[in-house]
Chain A
Amino acid sequence: MSTDTTGPSTGAVDVVLVDDHHLFRTGVKASLDAGVRVVGEADDVESAVRVVHELQPPVVLLDVHLPGGDGGGGAEVIRRCTDLGGTTRFLALSVSDAAEDVVAVIRSGARGYVTKAIDGGELSDAVRRVAGGDAVFSPRLAGFVLDAFGAAAGDVATGDDELDRLSAREREVMRLIARGYTYREVAAELFISVKTVETHVSAVLRKLQLSSRHELTRWAAARRLL
């Protein structure tokens, strides 16, 4: 079973669910639609690392705050699973929408971030999107990105390889997502395809993970991230 065969269109996506609250895991399992199948569960860092290595699912739904390990929570699980070589993708799921939690887990390699208030249909969509290799941005995460990269419109990246600034288009996409637009609505608003929106969002995610931008560092330091 490889990741490519479990894309959005072909059958159910296998998911490992990691959360330390049994009640919440039950709730998530009940709310996911038929396109997503929970194949494993874990409730702390060690068991999560073990289960993920064992099952190597295309997607892991991962709580940010987890007991066990070295106290690194979800971010630690992602770091200890990097040896899987990116075949397993992580979608962070948290009740906290604090900047430090969100950005820490994204910077350690999660492909997206959603809050636990999300409804089942949207969560299933987000899982399929992550399985397909795309990034999932909530409005709040888009807000953090704009905050961290500077909201001023004058500071615009000129080349694709520039990691430290958003391009004008990426900024537009981020602002629309922050305003509560879905990817489809963003695409309609900007007269581009949904695929292009996903490309932009993935590019922003890469920048957020790799950038060493001075302001981002300072912004993170101010929130005791680094």
Chain B
Amino acid sequence: MRLPLRRPERGRWFAGVAVGLAAHLDVPVGLVRFAFVVLAPVAAVGPALYVFWWLTVPAGDPAAAATEARPTALTRLARRQHDVDPARRLPLAAILTGVALVLGSIALVATRLGLDLNVDWLLPSLVLLAGLGLAWSQLDHVPRERWRTESGRPTVGVLRLLGGVVLAGVGGLLLVGQLMGSGIEPAAFVQAVVAAVAVLAGVGLVLAPWWLRLVRALGDERAARARESERADIAAHLHDSVLQTLALIRARADDAAEVARMARAQERELREWMYDERPAPGTSVAAVVKDVVAEVEDSRSGPTGDPVAIDVVVVGDRVPDADTEALVQATREALVNAVVHGRPPVSLYLEVRSDAVEVFVKDRGDGFDVDAIGPDRFGVRESIMGRVRRRGGTAEVTSRPGRGTEVHLLVPVRAAAAAEGGEAR
């Protein structure tokens, strides 16, 4: 399938036209760039085409645009991994400003040296060009920031447009004044300006209702499409997971343990889909722990061969790091122990504080004598206690006959990262 024409952020040198074209035509990007360079001397076709596409092709990721264009019912429901490293961009504004400054200083030196530059023409043209550039530059930004932010303050886009209009107007007037020559009467000039503004205002008034209706229709259509895609999402999900599982359960109705396991897995998935906020991947310890719980529930059985449900309670959240990774692995081992050797219900409590992350895993088994764990019992000693202690944490196993076993794991964390994670929630 051919990717739609977009200007991606990633891999662009200038405005992303060449990269976008290469992706769209499925040719190496070097070839496209070479073509632009070759076409440059031929009546400036290369640059003209480049600018044309820059203005007309929307910015965005071609692959993402292709996904959006597919019917929602066919796309996967889970969010994809976000790009973690930010796309590299040339500091375009800084480069343009620099070039302008250098040109300005060259012009200044040239006039000092007695070279006769036609400043009368140059200055208005430059002002006009700057205004146009400013107004057009927002084309790159409009898709991401709306006209007004939610607080009601006008965004940079509006300021840009206003500044561009004012600059272009001033430049245009100066140019016209120049064109008319010095013989023109100031009064006539002012009259002409007023007349021009009046015509513009009149046209604006006439077109305003049409434009407003267009904007409103666009908004309505957008809302309708959002509703439609939401409904398709739900239908797709029910079909893919719930119906499939029900069919599987009916097919294997005689295997009680397997049916219970499938029902539990489906319940967990549906619950998560319906009730949980789904954090972006890689930003939530809670999500990682829940994944581990799901894996243990699906793959391990209790002493009698029945699947075991794990009750999960989570307080707080943060971005995972190496320390929490060790904790999660130790938690997994503790859960496996609780499921395989203990007795349900198995409870998991995860508490994320600013200074530490704590985990409690509790089961209702018969318990065992902790001191009697031989050094050869690699499981508990190394995979649970060792992992956590190497990270400067503590690990305790409390077991009392008849009261079950509880594993308590604590890993200290850096406060700054925790605050960040808290904000992210």
Contact = CB atoms under 8 A, between A and B. Distances in A.
Interface string A177-213: 0111100010000000000000000000000000000
A139 B349 contact: yes
A141 B40 CA distance: 68
A98 B275 contact: yes
A27 to B, nearest CB: 15
A111 B154 CA distance: 48
A139 to B, nearest CB: 5
B360 A179 contact: yes
A153 B345 contact: no
Taking residues whose C-beta sits less than 8 angstroms from the other chain, chain A's interface range is 20 to 34
B319 to A, nearest CB: 17
A185 B403 contact: yes
A74 interface: no
A179 B362 contact: yes
Contacts of B360: 179-180
A147 interface: yes
Nearest to B364: A180
B301 interface: no
A23 B406 CA distance: 37
A117 B267 CA distance: 11
Contacts of B276: 98
B352 A179 contact: no
Nearest to A174: B315
A143 B275 contact: no
A131 interface: no
Contact of B347 (A96, A117, A146, A179): A179
A147 B316 contact: yes
B394 interface: no
A147 B277 CA distance: 15
A143 B271 contact: no
A25 B190 CA distance: 84
Given A139-B313, A140-B313, A151 B347 contact: no
A209 B20 CA distance: 56
Given A96-B275, A152-B354, A179 B349 contact: yes
A178 B353 contact: no
A180 B349 contact: yes
A151 B315 contact: yes
A97 B315 contact: no
B316 A180 contact: no
Nearest to A142: B313
Contacts of B354: 152
A142 B314 CA distance: 10
Nearest to A139: B313
Contacts of A151: 315-316, 351-353
Contact of A146 (B271, B309, B315, B406): B315
Interface in A90-130: 96-98, 117
Interface of B: 271, 274-276, 309, 311, 313-316, 345, 347, 349, 351-354, 360, 362, 403, 406, 425
The 10 A-B residue pairs whose C-beta atoms are closest, nearest first, are A180-B347, A143-B313, A98-B275, A179-B349, A179-B360, A146-B315, A178-B313, A180-B362, A147-B315, A139-B313
10 contacts: A97-B271, A98-B276, A139-B313, A139-B347, A143-B349, A147-B315, A151-B351, A151-B352, A153-B353, A222-B425
Interface of A: 96-98, 117, 139-140, 142-143, 146-147, 151-153, 175, 178-181, 185, 222
Given A143-B313, A143-B315, A179-B347, 10 more contacts: A97-B271, A97-B275, A139-B313, A143-B349, A151-B353, A152-B353, A179-B313, A179-B360, A180-B347, A222-B425
